[in-house]
Amino acid sequence: MLPPQIRVIQGDGISYESLGDILQAMQDAGFAADNLVFGSGGALLQKVNRDTQKIAFKCSEITDAKGKTTLVYKDPISDHGKKSKMGRLTLEKDALGGIVTITEGKGDPAKDMLVEVFRDGVTLKEWTFAEIRQLAKI
C-alpha cells in the first residue's frame, strides 16, 4: 500500500465498463485497489462529451501581421460529418427565431450574438452571476 496521502489518479477515459478492467490489471500487477483514485468524467456520469454533443472549439480564421486573412478548417476524409466551420463566424437568430451560425464572414455583425471576451490576454467583458442567469434564459 502507498502512504494514505498518496494515490494514483486515473481520470481520463474512465467509464463504467473500463473500471473492472483497470481494477483487474491492478490486482494482476499485485497492487491494491486502495492505491487508486478514479476521476468522474463524462463517461461515468451521462456519457456526454464533445462528440455526443457535436461541439468543439477550434480556430476558424487567422489574420497575419499584414492583415491578410486565411480560412482555417478541417474536413476529415473518413468522416465529412466532422467538417468544421470556417472563416469569421457570427451567431444569429433566423427568421423563425432559431439560432444559426453564419460562416466565412458572411454574417451581419449587428445581429451577432457572440461577444468578444478576451483579446491579446486582456479581458474585455465580464458578467455578474445574475447576468449569466438571465442570458441562460435565451
> What pLDDT shows up at residue 41?
63
Model confidence band, residue 35 (pLDDT cutoffs 50, 70, 90): confident
Determine the pLDDT at residue 138: 64
* C-beta separation of 33 from 23 below 8 A: yes
Q: Residue 91 contacts by C-beta under 8 Å, 6 or more apart in sequence?
A: 99, 100, 101, 102, 112, 113, 114
The CA-to-CA distance between both ends of the chain, in Å, stands at 52
The average pLDDT across 28-57 equals: 76
Whether the per-residue pLDDT at 20 is higher than 90: the answer is no
Q: Does the pLDDT of residue 62 top 80, yes or no? A: yes
Say whether pTM exceeds 0.75: no
Which one has a higher pLDDT value, 137 or 67?
A: 67
pLDDT interval class at 87 (50, 70, 90): very high
C-alpha separations of 57 from 51, 104, 134 in Å: 12, 16, 24
State the pairing for strand pair 69-71/61-63.
antiparallel
In 1-138, beta strands by DSSP E = 8-10, 36-38, 61-63, 69-71, 90-93, 99-102, 118-119, 122-123
| Grid coordinates of 1 | 500500500
